[in-house]
Amino acid sequence: MDVVGKIVIVTGAAGGLGSATARVFAGAGAKLALLDFNLDGAEELAAELSDGARAYRVDITDNEHVKSVLAQVKTDFGAIHICCNIAGGGTAAAKTYGSKGPHPAEDFAKTVNLNIVGTFNMMSLVAEQMAQNEPLTDSGERGVIINTASIAAYEGQMGQLSYTAGKAGIVGMTITATRDLSSLGIRVNTMVPGIMGTKPMLSVPDNVKEHLLKTVEFPKRFGQPEEIGRLALFMAESEYLNGECIRLDGGLRATAR
Ligand SMILES: NC(=O)c1ccc[n+]([C@@H]2O[C@H](COP(=O)([O-])OP(=O)(O)OC[C@H]3O[C@@H](n4cnc5c(N)ncnc54)[C@H](O)[C@@H]3O)[C@@H](O)[C@H]2O)c1
C-alpha cells in the first residue's frame, strides 16, 4: 500500500517503539491517529508531528472502549487504512514455580490480557472499519494490520512465562487472522523485536546490558526504535508480505537466563 495520505493508527504511540513508528509513517507522508493509555504522551507526539496528527486515550484491553475510539478516529479522519498494534508489555519476572512459590496468577492473567486480548480487540475492531474501505488497489487491498510480538514468543527466558504466553499468542493469531481477513483484502503481519533501545531496556544496569549484548550476533548493539518503524513501513508497503512474523534482532537467540 502506498502510505502517502493514508490514515495510520499507532497504539502505544506514547512509548518508545510506538512513537518511533509514528514518526517514520509521518515522514513517509501518512496521517497519524496516535492511541495510548497515556494521553499526555500521545498529545505531545501529535503536537510534534502536527500535519493533522491526533491523539486518543485508549485502553486496548477494553473491547467497548476500543470500539468507540475507532469510531471516533473514523469520524475524524474518514477512514482507517493501516493499524500498527504496538501497545503491550509484561509484568515483573516470575518463575512458573520458584522460591517465591507458584507464578502469581493475577500477573499471568494481566499480561496475557494486555498482549493477547488487547491485540485481538484491535485486530477484530479495526478490521470492521477497514472492511468498509473501497478497494485501494487493483488487487483489492483495503487495509494492513501490523502487530508486535517479541522474540520471547520463541525463546522466553526464565521468569518470562506470562510475557512468553502473551507474545506467542500474537504470533499464533497472525496466520489465522490473515486467513480470516484475506477475502476483504486486509493483510496481517507481526513484528518480532529483539532487544530494542527504548527506555525500559536502556535503564537496565550496565552489567545486564553487557550480558544481553553478548547474545546479539551483529551488529553488537540494541536495535534502534526507528528500525522497528521502518519494518512496520515495509510491512505496510509490501503487498505480497502477508501472514508473516519477522524478527528484528541482530541474529540474537536468547539464552535461558
Ligand atoms: N523495547 C523492547 O526491547 C521490546 C522488545 C520486544 C518487544 N517489545 C514490545 O514492543 C512494544 C512496545 O515496547 P516499548 O519498548 O515501546 O514499550 P513502552 O513501555 O515504551 O511503550 C508501551 C506503550 O503502550 C502503552 N500501553 C500500555 N498498556 C496499554 C493499554 N492497555 N492500552 C493502550 N496503551 C497501553 C503505554 O502507555 C506505553 O506508552 C510492546 O508490545 C513490547 O512488548 C519491546
Q: Judge whether 97 counts as a catalytic residue.
A: no
The amino acid occupying position 52 is G
How many Å lie between the centroid of ligand 1 and the Cα of residue 137? 32
Residue 148 has pLDDT above 90, yes or no: yes
Per the prediction, the chain carries an average pLDDT of: 97
Nearest CA to ligand 1 atom 38: 15
Which atom of ligand 1 sits closest to the CA of residue 19? 16
The amino acid occupying position 218 is F
Which domains are present in the chain? 7-246 (3.40.50.720)
Q: Is 160 in the pocket of ligand 1 (CB under 6 A)?
A: no
CB 136 within 8 A of CB 1: yes
Residue with cell 470500539: 67
DSSP 160: B
Q: What's the confidence (pLDDT) of residue 61?
A: 98
Q: Which of 56, 97, 163, 240 is an active site residue?
A: 163
Q: What's the confidence (pLDDT) of residue 201?
A: 83
Q: Is 155 in the pocket of ligand 1 (CB under 6 A)?
A: no
How many Å lie between the centroid of ligand 1 and the Cα of residue 85? 10
DSSP-assigned beta bridge partners for residue 236: none
The confidence band for 200, taking pLDDT boundaries of 50, 70 and 90, is: confident
Please report, rounded to a whole number, the percentage of residues in the chain having pLDDT higher than 70.
Answer: 100
d(CA 191, CA 85): 10
In tens, the pLDDT along 33-92 reads 999 999 999 999 999 998 899 999 999 999 999 999 999 999 999 999 999 999 999 999
In terms of Cβ atoms closer than 10 Å to its own Cβ (0-12, 13-18, 19+), residue 40 is: exposed
Secondary structure, 3-state, 34-100? EEECCHHHHHHHHHHHCCCCEEEECCCCCHHHHHHHHHHHHHHHCCCCEEEECCCCCCCCECCEECC
How many Å lie between the centroid of ligand 1 and the Cα of residue 89? 5
